[in-house]
Each structure stands twice: as C-alpha cells, then as structure tokens.
Amino acid sequence: MKKHFYANFKMNKTFKEIEDYCKNFIQTVKINDKNEIALFVPYVSLKETKHLFKNENILIGAQNVHFADNGAYTGEISAIMLKECETDVVLIGHSERRKFFKETDEDINKKIKQMMKYNVKVVLCIGETRDERQMLKTKQVITNQLKKALNGLYENEFKNIIIAYEPIWAIGTGEVATNKIIEEAINLIREILASLYNSALSNNTPILYGGSVTQENCKSLNKIKNLNGFLIGGASLNPKDFSFIINSCFKE
Ligand code: 13P
C-alpha cells in the first residue's frame, strides 16, 4: 500500500503564502508512485492550488463539505462545488469540526455518503479525548465513531475511504501518542472493519495517524506495523519540515 503524507493546513495560509510554500516544497520533497502526498488547503485556494501543482503528483484536498446537494445553508460548500474546484480528497469529521461546529456522527455519515456519490476520496477522522482515554473508554469511542460514520456504506466504496486515527489529546499539544497506543487503535479499527465487511477490505483500507507528528518523532512512528501514513497539522505548515518528514519516511 502507498505511504500517505497528508498535510492539514487548517485555517492557515493565504493563496500567496501557498504559492511561496509550493516553490520551496517542490524543490525539497521526494515524489514517486509509492507515496501519496496531499495538501488540505482552505476552500478559497483549492482551484488555484490544484493548478500550481498540475505537473506534480500531489493531491489537493478540502477540509470539510456539506451533506446536502444545495440549498439554504449560508456559508457552506457542497460536494459539486468541490468537484468543480478539482478537489481530489476531503477531510470529514475532524475533531475541530466536531468540537467547534458540533458535527455529529450522523452528519459525518451523511457527508461521507455525499462524497461517495461523487466518487471523491475521503479521510474519516476519529479519536478519543483525554478524559475518554483516562476513563478507559477509548475502545468504545472509536468503535462507536467508526460504526456510525460508516453506516450503510458499500464494500466497493472503500476504494475511496481512508481512516485517520487522531487522538484529540495529541492534536497540537506536542504530546504525540506512543507507538503502542497507535498500534492498539489501528488493530481495533482493522478488527471493526473486518467484522463489518471482511479481512481483505480491512487490510486494504489505509489508516493514518495524526497528532503532533514532527521531524523528531516521524522515524520512530514510521516503524509502526500496519500504519499507512500521517495526517499532519502544525509541522506541515513549513515546507522544509513537511519535506523532511516525507523524505525520512519515504518508500523508495
Ligand atoms: P498537529 O499535527 O498540529 O498536532 O495536528 C494534527 C491534525 O489535526 C491533523 O489533522
């Protein structure tokens, strides 16, 4: 399976800043078909960023989508609008969306189904809070989030599904999860996928880790069996840091 290096810019970088980023990034990053690189940029920069990278094998992603085709949803963006911007992949259910914008598992399920209709890849983000981990509820939370988000999806749609395990206590805190914690979460996610569908689907679904991935810890994280890459926030904002991470974990 490809190694995934996905950068979530969140609400950072104007298009001008993305242009500067691109020049630097292209000069330093290694690219080949065994790796998959994606940049999740703000909506307003999607189309232009796609054109910036038109000669490179780099995917351009959105950070959210609305679940309706169209309608009276002021401020929202639909799947067809994302298609028009040539979006390759969409983040769904990021913990910041769940926390600040009160997205529910049901909303997330509808958003995934909406993107499936348009045949666009999604990254479903799941993960527990610190309190949930301390109360030994991690397994229950992950199981619940996963089952609700994937409810009603067909096996053949999994060619477009990626799962990102992002424990909320590790996001933006500098407190990266241990390899053991990540391995346990990945094993659980694969077990659930195998029980909902089958083991081939489970083994073929990419699972990424996100939460305080840096240049310093990426090599150790890269040793985790069964992990197919990273979803990176803070460390992806600097093109040299993101390239360093990719180049250190790159599949030749
Ligand atoms: P950080 O890498 O800044 O912890 O963010 C992770 C994240 O939220 C990626 O979606």
pLDDT digits (tens, 9 = 90+) for 114-157: 999 999 999 999 999 999 999 999 999 999 999 999 999 999 99
106 contacts 148 by C-beta, under 8 angstroms:
yes
> Of 52-61, 68-77, 117-126, 168-177, which gets the smallest average pLDDT?
52-61
CA-wise closest residue to 104 among 67, 154, 158 = 67
How much is the mean pLDDT over the chain? 97
Ligand 1 nearest-atom number relative to CA 234: 3
Domains and CATH numbers, the chain: 3-248 (3.20.20.70)
pLDDT recorded at residue 28: 95
Pocket of ligand 1 contains residue 114 by CB under 6 Å: no
From residue 134, alpha-carbon distances to 94, 129, 130, 170 in Å are 21, 9, 6, 14
Pocket test for ligand 1, best of 5, 6, 8, 165 (most atoms within 8 A of CB): 8
- 172-230: per-residue pLDDT in tens? 999 999 999 999 999 999 999 999 999 999 999 999 999 999 999 999 999 999 999 99
Query: Is this structure's pTM higher than 0.85?
Result: yes
pLDDT recorded at residue 56: 87
185 contacts 142 by C-beta, under 8 angstroms:
yes
Annotated active-site residue 252? The verdict is: no
Annotated active-site residue 94? The verdict is: yes
